């Protein structure tokens, strides 16, 4: 990984965010959030409306960017388009990957929206950023959870692990619940795991993987470079660019979704 990115300082806004995230994301908490958001949504909104709302959201967990999220998502998509002009679904995935941050509109605190994700219900790998603050999590001292396998079994498959809750899992659940779109499962998985750095960039949790997870891992890793490197330029997002994505969205998401 390029060392210019993801440099986490002590005593920063980012550190404060992680302290809360690490303390409150317990196995029980995540189970409840999954139940809450997988059953039914409340607000009906188009993708366009959600993107517009991202003008108001700056991610406090990201040490590399302090611009509204709407700029980051266009830049991610554009980075992909430059590299892969015909891969419309991956471009759209780039545009959409952070839209789960709309949770801020629904009153969720930042520590339940952003930050790298990790598995709840088994021991925490030391490579997690700000690992020490995980000691404040009640699960840390619970022998049911803090073991190599915890509540899981070897090779149970990555999809069966519960990850700390946030914009990734939330958007994944929204896209699973609403089937009136054409975005395929490959991209739903990229969205679901894009903040799972300990897995996709640090090589953790291999003991839970099954054969098909290796392809997912590859897809997520490919996507990650666009997510990171789109933060280095500040190219203006012109109306022509917005129009290009407006059409792409209308093609893949002809109706509104329930969020």
Residues binding Fe ion: number (CB under 5 A): 2
For residue 50, count other CB atoms closer than 10 A to its CB. 22
Integer Cα distance of 37 and 171 in angstroms:
10
Task: Kindly state the smallest distance separating residue 58's Cβ from Fe ion, in Å.
Answer: 12
227 binds Fe ion (CB under 5 A): yes
Q: How many residues does the chain have?
A: 259
Residue whose CB is less far from Fe ion, 11 or 233: 233
Give the range of 44-52, 154-162, 220-228, 246-254 binding Fe ion by CB under 5 A. Answer: 220-228
Integer Cα distance of 195 and 67 in angstroms:
18
- Classify the C-alpha dihedral 145-151-153-156 as positive or negative: negative
Integer Cα distance of 127 and 38 in angstroms:
29
Task: Kindly state the smallest distance separating residue 163's Cβ from Fe ion, in Å.
Answer: 13
98 binds Fe ion (CB under 5 A): yes
Task: Kindly state the smallest distance separating residue 138's Cβ from Fe ion, in Å.
Answer: 26
For residue 123, count other CB atoms closer than 10 A to its CB. 15
Residue whose CB is less far from Fe ion, 71 or 119: 71
Contact between residue 116 and residue 197 where contact means Cβ atoms under 8 Å apart: yes
Integer Cα distance of 128 and 40 in angstroms:
32
Q: Torsion over CA of 144, 34, 161 and 129, rounded to 10 degrees? A: -80
Q: What DSSP string runs through 146-198?
A: SSSSTTS-TT--GGGSEEPPSHHHHHHHHHHH--SS---HHHHHHHHHTT-HH
Task: Kindly state the smallest distance separating residue 244's Cβ from Fe ion, in Å.
Answer: 19
Give the range of 2-10, 97-105, 121-129, 179-187 binding Fe ion by CB under 5 A. Answer: 97-105
78 binds Fe ion (CB under 5 A): no
Residues 4-63 that bind Fe ion (CB under 5 A): none
Give the range of 38-46, 80-88, 206-214, 219-227 binding Fe ion by CB under 5 A. Answer: 219-227
Residue whose CB is less far from Fe ion, 145 or 187: 187
Residue whose CB is less far from Fe ion, 44 or 232: 232
Task: Kindly state the smallest distance separating residue 98's Cβ from Fe ion, in Å.
Answer: 4
Residue whose CB is less far from Fe ion, 55 or 132: 55
Residue whose CB is less far from Fe ion, 78 or 139: 78
Give the range of 40-48, 95-103, 126-134, 180-188 binding Fe ion by CB under 5 A. Answer: 95-103
Residue whose CB is less far from Fe ion, 98 or 169: 98
Q: Which residues of 156-180 are buried (b: 16+ CB within 10 A; e: fewer)?
A: eebeebbbbbbbbbbbbbbbeebee
Task: Kindly state the smallest distance separating residue 26's Cβ from Fe ion, in Å.
Answer: 22
Task: Kindly state the smallest distance separating residue 167's Cβ from Fe ion, in Å.
Answer: 6
Binding stretches for Fe ion (CB under 5 A): 98, 227
């Amino acid at each position: 990984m390029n060392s210019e990115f993801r440099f986490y300082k002590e005593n920063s806004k980012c550190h404060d965010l992680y302290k809360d995230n690490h303390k409150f994301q317990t196995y029980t908490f995540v189970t409840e959030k999954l139940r809450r958001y997988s059953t039914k949504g409340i607000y009906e909104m188009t993708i366009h409306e959600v993107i517009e709302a991202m003008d108001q959201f700056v991610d406090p967990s990201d040490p590399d960017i302090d611009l509204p999220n709407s700029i980051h998502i266009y830049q991610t998509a554009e980075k992909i388009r430059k590299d892969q002009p015909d891969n419309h679904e991956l471009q759209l995935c780039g545009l959409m990957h952070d839209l789960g941050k709309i949770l801020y509109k629904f009153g969720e605190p930042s520590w339940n929206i952003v930050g790298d994700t990790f598995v709840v219900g088994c021991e925490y790998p030391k490579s997690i950023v700000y690992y020490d603050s995980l000691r404040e999590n009640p699960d840390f001292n619970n022998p049911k959870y803090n073991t190599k396998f915890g509540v899981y079994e070897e090779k149970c498959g990555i999809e069966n692990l519960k990850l700390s809750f946030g914009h990734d899992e939330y958007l994944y659940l929204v896209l699973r619940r609403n089937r009136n779109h054409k975005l395929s499962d490959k991209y739903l998985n990229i969205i679901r795991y894009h903040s799972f750095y300990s897995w996709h960039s640090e090589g953790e949790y291999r003991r839970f993987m099954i054969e098909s997870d290796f392809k997912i891992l590859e897809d997520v890793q490919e996507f990650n470079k666009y997510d990171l490197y789109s933060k280095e330029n500040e190219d203006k997002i012109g109306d022509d660019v917005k129009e290009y994505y407006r059409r792409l969205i209308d093609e893949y998401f002809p109706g509104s979704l329930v969020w």
